[in-house]
Chains A and B, each alone.
Chain A
Amino acid sequence: MSKDDKFKKQHQPPPPLFLGEKERDFVKQVNDEIIERVVGQQVLYFPIDIDHTNYHPLYGEAVEKTFLPPVRVYALVEYQGIETQFTQGMGIDKITKLLIKFHKRRLTEDQELFVREGDFVRYGDIYYEIVKLIEPKLLFGQPEHRFEIQAECIRTRDGLFNGS
């Protein structure tokens, strides 16, 4: 028995057999393909540029907002319809909501895009503001590999944001 054949204790335990990088890449590849080639829904993402937007120093609000170059993003969009809403003291109003499910790894690794509350998306001809983010799933239960970002969005009024 040669010296090289001797069992050596490894510094770290081996990775899980079927939940490693290759499997994660495979999941990404399948998801990319389904979202982009099969479903094909897309939104235009407008990240607000905090450095160039002239926010009020106290109230933290800006009538004119500056945004970074918009990014075309493929995602699963759940349109939740137009609803009548009675605005107290004002009258009849309309509210429209979207639920957008982003593929996180595609966004952060390939498009260098990070989804944040307060950014805007355009779906069709209408702009929506991201009001709530949920990251419900881990890939293979691995805490460093979050899988999906769900963004709840509400339709913006023209006075709040106009990307055109």
Chain B
Amino acid sequence: MAVKEIVIQPSNIENIDTAMFEYVRDLELQTHTNDGLQITPVVWLGTERAYQIKNNKSLRDDVGKLYLPMMSVNRESITKDPNFKGIFQAHIGEHPDYKGGVVTIVRRIQQEKTRNFANADTSRLRKGDETGRRKNEKIVYEEITIPNPSYITVMYTLAIRTEYQEQMNNLVAPFISKTGNINSFLIERNGWKYEVFVQQEFAETKNVDNLAEEERMFETKIQFKVLGVLIGEGLNRERPKVTIRETRTEVRISRERVITGDKRPWAVKDKDYREF
């Protein structure tokens, strides 16, 4: 049976950001507007000015004023808390060579070298055909290792802005009720899963109690705490993202020899021997 290999890129901050954003966007939360039932657009806060103005023109009218309701996702902070240790708790130093790597994630048989060991053992038993089925205990594995995972807590704020109280009710309710009586759910991207906790407070800001000359508006901010993991330093890592090493099957100790005048009488060709 053919082995299916799945390529998984290391988890990084961008992957966590994208997973969080895509989760909110893919909820496709709807609410009533004067154009009927509409999906509320979600944007990532803090894009460049030209991108904001020119990328998605459906977010604004002819003059450039934003259509509401609208939601934005923003990353507030990243914390590396020593109390949050994650699944892989121990700190193990990397191999002190150029390859590095700590945590073995995959082990596969190195076919060629395993076969060589088997054939070498067979050739000691019979001459002529060295191949054939035989129990072989000298199996060479390739171990794939990655750097130590670093566990982080990332805080996001989802800002919901609407023109009507009804719209706000429609958009906030899923974040309260979707997870039932617990506050957590999983987000996923590129094979990585992160646990998200909806924070308790749904902070409302509105100006209806003192409208004065301002535009009537409603805003709610919901905070999400994401338990994330980083694998490696990203672009600035000096060692490879993934390291492949072969395991040992046999330890050989060569015969001690004197420096000069030590011939091997049984060897037909003794290239290593040097007469000084």
Measured CB to CB, the residues of A under 8 A from B are: 48, 50, 53, 55, 57-62, 65, 116-119, 129-131, 133
Is A118 touching B50 in the complex (CB atoms < 8 A)? yes
Q: Are B50 and A117 in contact (CB under 8 A)?
A: yes
| Neighbouring B residues of A55 by C-beta, 8 Å | 47-48, 51, 55
**Cross-chain contact B47 with A61 (CB below 8 angstroms):** yes
Interface of A is mostly: loop
Query: Which of A50, A57, A130, A131 has the most CB atoms of chain B within a 10 A radius of its CB?
Result: A50
Chain A residues closer than 8 Å to B21, beta-carbon distance:
58
Assuming the contacts A48-B54, A116-B53, asked whether A58 and B48 have C-beta atoms less than 8 A apart, the reply is: no
Q: What's the least CB distance linking B162 to chain A, in Å? A: 23
Tally of contact residues, B, Cβ under 8 A: 16
B47 and A60 form a contact (CB under 8 A): yes
- In the complex, residue of chain B having the shortest beta-carbon distance to the beta carbon of A65: B50
User: How far apart are the CA atoms of A58 and B23 in the complex, in Å?
Assistant: 13
Determine if A118 and B48 form an interchain contact, defined as CB atoms under 8 angstroms apart: yes
Cβ of B179 under 8 Å from chain A: no
Asked if B44 contacts A60 (CB within 8 A), the reply is yes
B31 close to chain A: CB less than 8 A: no
Residue B14 CB within 8 A of the other chain: yes
Shortest Cβ distance from B18 into A: residue: A58
Give CA–CA (A117, B49) in the complex, Å. 6
A118–B44 touching, CB < 8 Å: no
Interface pair B47/A59, CB less than 8 Å apart:
yes
The interface centre, meaning the residue of B50, B54, B55 with most chain A CB atoms within 10 A of its CB, is: B50
Q: Mark B8-40, 1 if CB is under 8 A from A, else 0.
A: 000000100110010000000000000000000
Q: Name which of B18, B47, B51, B64 has the most chain A CB atoms within 10 A of its CB.
A: B51
Point out the residues of chain B lying under 8 angstroms from A118, CB to CB.
48-54
Residues of B within 8 A of A61 (CB): 47-48, 51
List 17 additional A-B contacts (Cβ < 8 Å) besides A61-B48, A65-B50, A118-B54.
Answer: A48-B50, A50-B50, A57-B18, A58-B14, A58-B17, A59-B17, A60-B44, A60-B47, A62-B51, A116-B53, A116-B54, A117-B50, A117-B52, A117-B64, A118-B53, A130-B49, A133-B64
